[in-house]
Amino acid sequence: MFTNLGYFFKEAWNDIVHRPVAILFSLISIALLLFFTAFIFAGGEQLQWLVGQLGQEAAVTVFLQEDVARSQRDSLEEELQQLSGVTTIRFVSKEQALEEMEDILGEHSSELAATAGFNPFLGYFEVGVLPEEGVEVAVQAEKLPGVDSVRDNRQTLERLTRLTLVMRLGAVFALLFVGVVMMITISHIIHLGLMAREEEMEIYRLLGAGPWFAALPFLLQGTLLGFSGGLVSFLAAVVTFPILISKLHSALPFLPLQPGMGVALAVGPVLIATGTIFGLSGSLLAQYQARGK
């Protein structure tokens, strides 16, 4: 079998060259299907990234009441520092809070002009915590005098984690669906090739060839088709994702997003592996059908 490996590749390529239009359309269909799946995977990837980012920033925000005096604020800071699990503490004044928001909004900061000189933000302590003690710190901080409210990102993280799971499950289902459609497409195109060369297969058999001799070029062809479809969809992701994510980032500037190229590179191996595996499966299905006849 290995003696003829070069021949099998050549045969697979010859068949592609002999019916370029049919093969090209199959390739486009496969690449489009995989590209569609890439979007769902990219969504999951982005959410996972978001959870990771937020998880690293395990923090409790302690908002102060409007009328807290400097001395009360200092004693509050001391009490917060003494709580178990607190790693860092930083005070952000009303003015700084406004500035930070302006920084985040960037070119959209003009929207804050609508507040017409009124600063709607409260001063707050940004308390860095050990992730496992975040809840306890929040509970204790809420009881302290001068505290307006406390916000921790645990709920957000939990919701995002759930959403990530749903997104990933959706991606897996989409992948299975796309895989089955791909398999049918490839098996159809390979089956047509087998039918067109039925007489040739018969000659192979009369010369003593085993079933693999005739089958291998077609298995290679289907695998190559699936692999190429995966590769094309990956390249499309490399080109389009950075543009799309950059646009998304402009629209939602406060959302930490993974750079487009990073998402494309993360999704690429999945696309190529899916294309290759279902390409091979489609070819095997075609062989099975042909043998049945």
Q: Which residues of this protein are in contact with other proteins, per CB under 8 A?
A: 1, 3-4, 6-7, 200, 202-210, 213
d(CA 77, CA 90): 9
Tokens of 24: 């090209």
Answer yes or no: are the C-beta atoms of 139 and 84 closer than 8 Å: no
State the minimum distance, in angstroms, from the CB of residue 4 to other proteins: 6
Q: Which is nearer to other proteins, 6 or 117 (CB)?
A: 6
Tokens of 117: 């000189």
d(CA 234, CA 147): 51
Q: What are the φ and ψ backbone dihedral angles of 52, each rounded to 5 degrees? A: -60, -45
Q: Which is nearer to other proteins, 158 or 200 (CB)?
A: 200
Answer yes or no: are the C-beta atoms of 276 and 227 closer than 8 Å: yes
State the minimum distance, in angstroms, from the CB of residue 25 to other proteins: 23
State the minimum distance, in angstroms, from the CB of residue 227 to other proteins: 25
Tokens of 248: 């998304």
Answer yes or no: are the C-beta atoms of 234 and 272 closer than 8 Å: yes
State the minimum distance, in angstroms, from the CB of residue 293 to other proteins: 16
Q: Which is nearer to other proteins, 263 or 290 (CB)?
A: 290
**Residue 185 Cα distances to 29, 131, 275, 292, angstroms:** 8, 49, 12, 19
Q: Which is nearer to other proteins, 176 or 196 (CB)?
A: 196
- Residues 38, 43, 44: CA angle, nearest 5 degrees: 100
Amino acid letter for position 52 = G
State the minimum distance, in angstroms, from the CB of residue 15 to other proteins: 11
State the minimum distance, in angstroms, from the CB of residue 192 to other proteins: 16
Q: Which is nearer to other proteins, 57 or 200 (CB)?
A: 200
The sign of the dihedral angle between the CA atoms of 228, 229, 230, 234 is positive
Give the distance between the most distant pair of CA atoms in the chain: 99
Q: Which is nearer to other proteins, 3 or 82 (CB)?
A: 3
State the minimum distance, in angstroms, from the CB of residue 208 to other proteins: 3
Q: Which is nearer to other proteins, 103 or 198 (CB)?
A: 198
Answer yes or no: are the C-beta atoms of 147 and 65 closer than 8 Å: yes
